[in-house]
Amino acid sequence: MKSICLAILASAALLFAQTVIAKPPSWDTVNNGKGRFKLLNQFDSAAVLDQETGLVWEQSPSTSTFTWSNAQKNCNQLTVGNRKGWRLPTVQELASLVDPSVSPGPTLPAGHPFSNVQSDVYWSATTLAVNTSFAWVVFFNDGFVSNVFKSGDGLVWCVRGGQGVDPQ
């Protein structure tokens, strides 16, 4: 009898855990409306969860410009909301913040909770495959994705989570 009760309790606990634990977001889900972004209190409201991608972004990216290698260094050493583990986003992750219907920039979805986002170029961690002297960037004045010399200057918007890439 005791083992049957334990089995029933274990089954109920498993069912409860499956309904409570959120599934990771799917990249086939489009959510540009209200509720896409959640300001994270556990990060002292200095970080934002993108519920479309599952990535956590700085709520207020730096307004300083950096070369690509210094941009990497900036994110790797960053503490936001008393948390480490930040990195430069991939070009796809960075471009996922762009709402092409918004013009002029910054080209972010309506109702976003970010501050200090500039209508300018932001570095990604993604190196141009055919010439490693270049990295991919996203222009937040018009949402354009391109590549520039790594020795140039760009803005930095750090992220946590996802897969990232090894910088070259």
Query: Whole-angstrom Cα distance, residue 106 to residue 23?
Result: 30
**Does 156 reside within a domain?**
yes
What is the chain's Cα-based Rg? 19
DSSP track, 67-132: -HHHHHHHHHT--BTTB---BPPPHHHHHTT--TT--SSS---TT----S--SSEEEEEEEPTT-T
**Does 141 reside within a domain?**
yes
The pLDDT value recorded for residue 163 is 76
**Does 23 reside within a domain?**
no
**Does 97 reside within a domain?**
yes
Q: Which residues of the chain are under the pLDDT cut of 50?
A: 5-22
**Does 130 reside within a domain?**
yes
**Does 145 reside within a domain?**
yes
| Domains held by the chain: number | 1
The pLDDT value recorded for residue 81 is 93
CATH number at residue 50: 3.10.100.10
Q: Which domain holds residue 63?
A: 36-160
The pLDDT value recorded for residue 10 is 47
**Does 28 reside within a domain?**
no
**Does 168 reside within a domain?**
no
The pLDDT value recorded for residue 146 is 97
